């Protein structure tokens, strides 16, 4: 018997109409046939909507080009995204991973409706075989996926772009799953200046001794932070789209305390 009194879980992030309206806008465009199978044209259509109708919380063309250049340089085989939104970055970066000979771009989005929008646009861009949009939290999805990816071997790049207060716990999750101790992964995080991610920046800039002090004071729950890892982080500044001054993209690499797992 189904218990109909059981209430569904509350949504952490709700759509405000822009995301579904974007989908209607794109699928009503007269050049829809030209968009099919073209990641660049789908990205251009999303940019058109952002410019002429409603602003979207996408990475945008400027920061997007910066991160795409990193992907082109590193040629990741596997790249993970935490925070997929409408699929803009999954299309842009997934196409770059594919162009570099990579296998998989995995986008994790907690909101099922946003993930549905993203999946529609990924499919329109012709990237279904290389980009997967999965619904759930990072801990739910990655805990299952990474443990079952022995044949892949390593995650080469990670892009994090959602609630800024969760950035540090995201990195702790990756550390606990062994992602940061395999090969030489790079973590790219958006909005580290505005609105800012102070806990994340403190962690990636701290020494192992300082990290142990942070862990002692923090409520880590089931997470397993690796205080022995030493990171090198560079922040590149950009002007914000909303007139709030400077924003920044952080690029974090492991430079010490690394134990390579086979």
For the full predicted model, state whether its pTM sits above 0.85. yes
Is residue 11 situated within a structural domain?
no
Is residue 56, in this structure, part of any structural domain at all? yes
CATH number of the structural domain spanning residue 118 = 3.40.50.150
**What gap in Å lies between CA 185 and CA 86, rounded to an integer?**
25
Residues 22 and 105 occupy one common structural domain: yes
Q: Can you list the positions of beta strands (E) in the chain?
A: 78-82, 104-109, 131-135, 157-160, 186-189, 230-239, 246-256
Do 106 and 37 reside in the same domain of the chain? yes
- Partners of 131 in beta bridges: 105
Mean pLDDT to the nearest integer, 85-104: 97
- The answer on 127 and 207 residing in a single domain is no
Vertex 37 angle, CA 31 and 39, to 5°: 90
pLDDT of residue 145: 63
Residue 200 lies in a domain: yes
Encode pLDDT of 174-232 as tens digits: 998 888 888 789 999 999 999 999 999 999 999 999 999 999 999 999 999 999 999 99
Q: Residue 69 and residue 134: Cα distance in Å, rounded? A: 25
Q: Which of the four pLDDT bands, split at 50, 70 and 90, describes residue 7?
A: very low
Structure tokens at 133: 């949009």
pLDDT at 207: 96
Asked if the structure places residue 145 within a domain, the reply is no
Structural domain count, the chain = 2
* Boundary-marking domain end, from 103, 137, 171: 137
39 and 118 fall within a common domain: yes
């Amino acid at each position: 018997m189904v218990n109909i009194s059981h209430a569904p879980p509350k949504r952490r992030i709700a759509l405000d109409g822009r995301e579904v309206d974007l989908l209607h806008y794109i699928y009503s465009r007269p050049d829809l046939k030209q968009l099919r199978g073209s990641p660049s044209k789908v990205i251009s259509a999303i940019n058109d909507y952002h410019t002429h109708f409603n602003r979207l919380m996408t990475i945008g063309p400027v920061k997007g080009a910066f991160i795409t250049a990193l992907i082109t340089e590193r040629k990741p085989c596997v790249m993970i995204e935490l925070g997929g939104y409408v699929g803009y970055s999954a299309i842009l970066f997934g196409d770059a991973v594919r162009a570099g000979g990579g296998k998989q771009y995995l986008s994790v989005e907690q909101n099922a409706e946003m993930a549905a929008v993203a999946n529609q646009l990924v499919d329109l861009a012709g990237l279904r075989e290389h980009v997967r949009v999965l619904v759930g939290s990072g801990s739910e999805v990655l805990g299952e996926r990474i443990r079952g990816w022995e044949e892949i071997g390593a995650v080469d790049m990670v892009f994090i772009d959602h609630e800024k207060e969760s950035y540090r716990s995201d990195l702790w999750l990756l550390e606990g799953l062994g992602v940061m101790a395999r090969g030489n992964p790079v973590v790219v995080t958006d909005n580290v200046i505005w609105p800012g991610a102070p806990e994340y920046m403190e962690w990636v800039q701290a020494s192992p001794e300082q990290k142990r002090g942070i862990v002692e004071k923090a409520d880590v729950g089931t997470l397993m932070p690796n205080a022995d890892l030493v990171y090198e982080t560079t922040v590149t500044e950009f002007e914000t789209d909303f007139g709030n001054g400077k924003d920044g993209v952080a690029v974090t690499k492991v430079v010490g305390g690394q134990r390579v797992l086979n």
